[in-house]
Structure 1
Amino acid sequence: MEILKLAPVGKDYLWGGTRLQENFGKQINLNPLAETWECSVHPDGQSIVVNGSFAGMTLAEVFCRKPEYLGTKVGEKKELPILVKFIDAKQDLSVQVHPDDDYAREYEGDNGKTEMWYVLETDKGARLIYGFEHPVTEELLRKAITDGELDKHLHKVQIQKGDCFYVPAGVVHGIGAGALIAEIQESSNVTYRVYDYDRVDKNGQKRPLHFEKAVSVMDMQPAKVVQKKNRFVRYYPGCSREIVCRCKYFETEHICVRKGFSFTAREESYQIFLCLDGEGQVETVDERRKPVRFRKGDCLFIPAGIGRCHLLGETELLKVRC
């Protein structure tokens, strides 16, 4: 078994910026660079392994050869159920919603999309859209979009670095201008745009909206409190750790490392490390395996069953598992 260091695929959506190149070292020749899919096997963008005996292969190709890397919890399909990405919103993203698994599989041939956001950087006044301020109906929304008044029905949340939000399928949402975010989601690329601020793309065309599908899947009730506050942080001699989100699809832990810590990758689940700051290396107890170094912006895939590992350095990480 090998620890896999991954290279992402970039997306040049019109609302993106340049911070992923400038602040996270992404050597991707896209302008704007809106997203980097750091750990992905989705057909719309697949990560590439850059180290070891699998160098040059897609992560999906590795799993075809080594399905045991995923662990026993993923089920008989042996597919990576999540997608990990960075998002740089120089402009507002569209007001959008994602379907659940049943709807997406029936109508889109894809998974649904439940996700979480971990806020990395914000400009002053940056906000998110999360659900509605009051109950709405299809008729009200249709009229509001026609009249350009949708904004007054949307629930806005001010954000700052370190905030975490859980966004289940069906919740209308939008990432606001000035936010740089790490997103953990189901492995899916199904998005229904409700409103896109009448913007046009580089060809002068408005991006399509998906109102009919959107109202078929959205929760039209007022938003509930979603911001994760009063989180429980555990302190250890070399690090601090906190669970920031746990749902049926993934568990995400925020880890700040001062010296190092040890962990075990058991047979039940893979682990993914996304480096938010600093640098370090991961080594296993098997001295035949070379340590894998990483720095801010890097993503590592730790195979299920690789056993006891040690992470050394001064770094900030998100650790994801199923």
Structure 2
Amino acid sequence: VLSCHPDGPSVIENGAYAGKTLREYLEAEGKAVLGKNGAKFTDFPILTKLIDARDNLSIQVHPDNAYAQKYENQYGKTEMWYIMDAAPDAFLYFGFEHEIGREEFERRIREDDLLPVLHQAPVHKGDVFFIEAGTLHAIGKNILLAEIQQNSNVTYRVYDYGRVGKDGKKRELHIEKALDVTNCRRAEEDTHCYPHVASCPYFTVDHLVLDGKTMKKICGEVGEDSFLSILFLSGEGEISCAQASFSYRKGESYFLPAGSGSFAIEGECDALITTLPA
């Protein structure tokens, strides 16, 4: 939905750069569009996407910045999930049910016996999960979610339900690297981010709800500190900024450059607004 990563770059749909990738836009306009808070990042700092999990996804972990930059030449990956929809019995895996040692962790990976010690969290529409780098996790089947993360694709897989690829072989596991980076402590779901949905050194996320009745318009200012990335989870309406107006609908993302000035969102919507912290 919003990406500068080579594995899936976003293409701009409207405005002066329509048809260009987000990276081409940034190369033309420079880092000033990220804002003052973006000066500390060497590359575009975030990536947002929608994930519709029809089956259980693999158990995996992501490294932090120090490890990823040393061994993978990428950012690490801290992320947050906002549950857009889920089946009544849906769940995801999030960390461990209790702390285990490195030796037990390795043994369970190699013996395909990891699931019994993972924390299984039921999910409902509107739930938020903050997945810090080093946290073992997996999205369960029948879950639709929005993911906001660091701009990275470094993933170490440790369990994949015995599935095989087109070549008939089981998918590769990344055991040694996972052992290096995984936090084996008990899961902690409460991240204490109030009033934000999520907040960390890499991004801050806020939740916007317009019901189209008592609350049908919001106005704000895009200052010099950070851009605004707006992901519309549902609804439709109009967004305006810098003397331009566009219609929005579910699943669309809008990037408002730092210093754009006044903006307004009208209609009925559920949206996530991401900025860069100081």
For this structure pair, what is the TM-score category when the shorter chain's length is used for normalisation?
over 0.9
Q: Write the deviation string for residues 207-263 of structure 1: whole angstroms up to 9, x where unpaired.
A: 1100100010011111123377xx86xxxxxxxxx6211111111111111311001
1:70–1:79 Cα contact (<8 Å) kept: no
Please list every run of at least 4 consecutive aligned residues from structure 1 whose deviation after the TM superposition is greater than 4 angstroms. Answer: none
Is structure 2 residue 97 aligned with structure 1 residue 133? yes
Q: Residue 252 of structure 1 corresponds to which residue in structure 2?
A: 205
Aligned to 2:135, which of 171, 187, 196? Answer: 171
Q: Is 1:162 equivalent to 2:116 in the alignment?
A: no
Identity of aligned residues (%): 41
Match of 1:300 among 230, 246, 254: 254
- 1 CA distance for matches of 2:69 and 2:110? 30
2:228 touches 2:255 (CA, 8 Å); kept in 1? yes
Whether 2:152 is the aligned partner of 1:194: answer: no
- Give structure 2 stretches of 5+ with no counterpart: none
Count of matched residue pairs: 271
Distance 2:14 2:189 in 1: 42
CA distance in 1, matches of 2:191, 2:199: 14
| Deviation at residue 43 of structure 1 after TM alignment | 1.4
Partners of 2:268 and 2:152 lie apart in 1 by 33
1:270 aligned to which of 227, 231, 235: 227
Shift of 1:66: 0.8
- Give runs of aligned pairs for residues 1-322 of structure 1, distance below 5 A: 38-67=1-30, 68-75=32-39, 79-226=43-190, 243-257=196-210, 258=212, 259-284=216-241, 286=242, 289-322=243-276
The CA distance in 2 between the partners of 1:319 and 1:71, in whole Å, is 15
Q: 1:83 to 1:71 in 2, by over 3 A?
A: same
- One-letter amino acid matched to 1:190: V
Contact residue 112 and residue 159 of structure 2 kept, 8 A = no
Please give the TM-score of this superposition, normalised by the length of structure 1: 0.81
Amino acid at match of 1:301: F
The DSSP-based 3-state class of the residue aligned with 1:261 is strand
Q: Please provide the CA RMSD for this pair.
A: 1.6
Report the TM-score when normalising by structure 2: 0.93
Instruction: Report the Cα offset of residue 110 of structure 1.
Output: 0.5
The structure-2 alpha-carbon separation of the partners of 1:159 and 1:76, relative to structure 1 and needing over 3 Å to count, comes to closer
